């Protein structure tokens, strides 16, 4: 007996979706059975026209989510502060004592790049020069800016985007002043005292 009932339900489950798809309830059928449960269906809700909204939401929830690619980029901006007067005096190399006013000149630095972490501060010098005071206190660099960039715009220091090698390089990195100027270095020299 149990096998007969199970076989009946198996046949019913297999044929029910095909039979339900062909059944149509028209507007006249729903109006004639006003007192029955089927009278609550509207003409728009017919079998075979797709799942009901609640069933559609359930099917959408069961569907595998779409895979989207997300790319996260991280930018690090480094601020170089202006050097204090005491820092400037300590960082400048010793000049000969014969002169009352020390005189300095630019000599080749030997590299087009300087590590960002080595810079302790900066100060404008002249129209297109920016002095970079390094943390080792024995080395001061002179960064020559583009011709259209006044060094006076960098009196409050500057910002620079940190690159992968963590260095500021000539003709590669742009220095951004707090006043809004954006300049690229065209040269990098070392500042040395003039010997008699």
pLDDT tens per residue, range 96-140: 555 566 788 899 999 999 999 999 999 998 889 999 999 876 789
Cα distance between residue 167 and residue 141, in whole Å = 14
- Could you give the residue ranges of the DSSP H alpha helices within 63-102? 85-91
Residue, of 45 and 90, whose pLDDT is higher? 90
The tokens describing 190, both together, are: 């070392």
pLDDT tens per residue, range 17-73: 544 444 444 444 444 444 444 444 444 545 555 556 767 776 776 776 666 777 767
Residue, of 3 and 31, whose pLDDT is higher? 3
pLDDT at site 117: 92
Cα distance between residue 179 and residue 138, in whole Å = 29
Terminal CA-CA length for the chain: 120
């Amino acid at each position: 007996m149990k096998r007969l009932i199970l076989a009946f339900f198996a046949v019913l489950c297999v044929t029910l979706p095909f039979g339900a798809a062909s059944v149509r309830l028209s507007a006249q059928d729903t109006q004639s059975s006003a007192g029955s449960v089927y009278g609550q269906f509207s003409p728009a809700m017919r079998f075979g026209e797709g799942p009901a909204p609640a069933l559609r939401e359930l099917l959408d929830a069961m569907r595998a989510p779409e895979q989207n690619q997300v790319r996260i980029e991280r930018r690090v901006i480094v601020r170089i502060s202006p050097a204090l007067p005491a820092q400037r005096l300590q960082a400048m190399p010793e000049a000969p004592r014969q002169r009352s006013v020390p005189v300095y000149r630019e000599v080749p630095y030997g590299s087009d790049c300087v590590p960002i972490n080595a810079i302790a501060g900066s100060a404008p010098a002249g129209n297109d020069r920016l002095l970079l005071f390094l943390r080792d206190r024995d080395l001061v660099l002179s960064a020559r800016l583009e011709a259209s960039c006044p060094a006076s715009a960098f009196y409050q220091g500057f910002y620079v985007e940190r690159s992968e090698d963590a260095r500021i390089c000539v003709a590669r990195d742009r220095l951004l002043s707090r006043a809004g100027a954006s300049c690229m270095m065209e040269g990098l020299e070392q500042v040395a005292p003039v010997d008699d």
